[in-house]
Amino acid sequence: MTADILRFALGYAQIALILALALACWRMLRGPRAQDRVLGLDTMYINAMLLFLVIGMGNGNVFFFEGALVIAVLGFVTTVCAAKFLMRGEVIE
Amino acid sequence: MSRLVPHPLLSAALVVMWLFLTAFTLGHLLLGTLIALGAGWSVEHLHPPKPVFRRWLAIPKLMAIVAVDILRSNITVARVLVLGPDHPKYHSGFVELTLRMRDPNAIAVLAIILTGTPGTAWIEFDQEESRLLLHVLDLRSDDDWQSLIRDRYETLLMEIFE
Amino acid sequence: MTHLEQLPPWAAIIVALFVAIGATLTLLGGVGLVRLKSFYQRLHAPTLGYSYGTLLIILASMLLFSLSEKRPVVHELMIGIFIMITTPITLLMLGRAALRRDRDRKLGHDEVVPPRNRAEPPTEAETEDPQP
């Protein structure tokens, strides 16, 4: 019984996170200005990381955690580089 | 001691992180210690301003206040988002504040707190005049924010760092 | 799906609640990202998912794996600490970049931003002008 509740909650969380991912993607594609796109991309990275964690919880597989960590690191580096580019017009000074 | 391990706190945190991410064995302890020492030496070459903690006891109090504040502003921002941006009760805007703090580490911690809190975003800081530009989603009045930040965070941060 | 049945009922309900609330907060952040009007307002929306959305899902994951593997599993804390350190940096840099671009005349701005410095009288009169 409680396992069913847990399974339902995990399924709901996956759907909600995929929806959030889609909304962030919409903002990234649509965004009127470049900074909106970067913000959407950063949100997409975090949402994908959370989605990986939730999928790992559903499967009982610890190795999704590593994927989530890699996504978090890549998202951070990407966003910082993009923000730096927006600010200066060049990435490496 | 200080030449061999220039940043003991950072190195210890790195060793603990290494053990958590791999396994609690002697080999990983040795490898993690080597990597942590290397990281400490490389940080030493960057010459960051070394933080001096004056009062350790105030740190848990600050963390508790920040956790409660983030929870409260999560609820506020969630309400704003559900009601929609056109709701007449809310309007957002820029707020200009002046800070009394001078220590760069304290200012960095304040930046982390304010950016991590939904509803306030740190936009710009003028170091010469200590003037801070914030963007606030649920704006009430300028003085409100000035006194809020001064009483809640700034006094505690000045106790810890200065 | 055996590991889900092994959990005691109280833990299963706590994990389910945490995961559901965390995912809802993240979804609200996404909704705000689409609904809000200007960039500076949108900058606040994802913070919901960055702060308590991440925290709740990480806590739920730690509880689930600790109980189902019968040993303390805390490596999710690494993600929590990493997100806690990096999100202020990214949001701060994005905010500064947006402000810089909004002040640049050539790019054209969609929102009125405060001028850079009040202490300069000659440029002051020009930058105050573009009121819609």
Q: Express as a percent the part of chain B with pLDDT over 90.
A: 0
CA separation for the pair B38, C119 (Å, rounded): 46
| Chains contacting chain A through 3 or more C-beta pairs under 8 A | C
C28 at B interface, C-beta within 8 A: yes
Predicted complex ipTM: 0.86
B94 at C interface, C-beta within 8 A: yes
Instruction: Report pLDDT for A51.
Output: 93
pLDDT digits (tens, 9 = 90+) for B142-156: 567 778 888 888 888
Question: In chain C, which residue's Cα lies nearest the Cα of A14?
Answer: C23
pLDDT digits (tens, 9 = 90+) for A15-50: 999 999 999 999 999 878 888 899 999 999 999 999
Six token digits for residue B95: 């707020």
C31 neighbourhood in chain B, CB within 8 Å? 81
pLDDT digits (tens, 9 = 90+) for B6-52: 777 788 888 888 887 777 788 888 888 888 888 888 887 777 666 67
B9 at C interface, C-beta within 8 A: no
Instruction: Report pLDDT for C119.
Output: 45
Domains in chain A, please, with CATH?
Answer: 2-88 (1.10.287)
- pLDDT tops 80 at residue A5: yes
CA separation for the pair C79, B160 (Å, rounded): 27
A68 at C interface, C-beta within 8 A: yes
Q: Are A47 and A17 in contact (CB under 8 A)?
A: yes
Instruction: Report pLDDT for B35.
Output: 86
Mean pLDDT of C11-30: 91
Judge: A35–C83 Cβ closer than 8 Å, yes or no. no
Q: Cα angle vertex B145, ends B141, B150, to 5°?
A: 150
* Domain residue ranges of chain B, discontinuous segments joined by +: 8-46, 58-161
CA separation for the pair A20, A81 (Å, rounded): 24
Does the CA dihedral B23-B25-B26-B27 come out positive or negative? negative
Task: Give me chain A's average pLDDT, please.
Answer: 87
Most confident of B25-29, C50-54, C118-122: C50-54
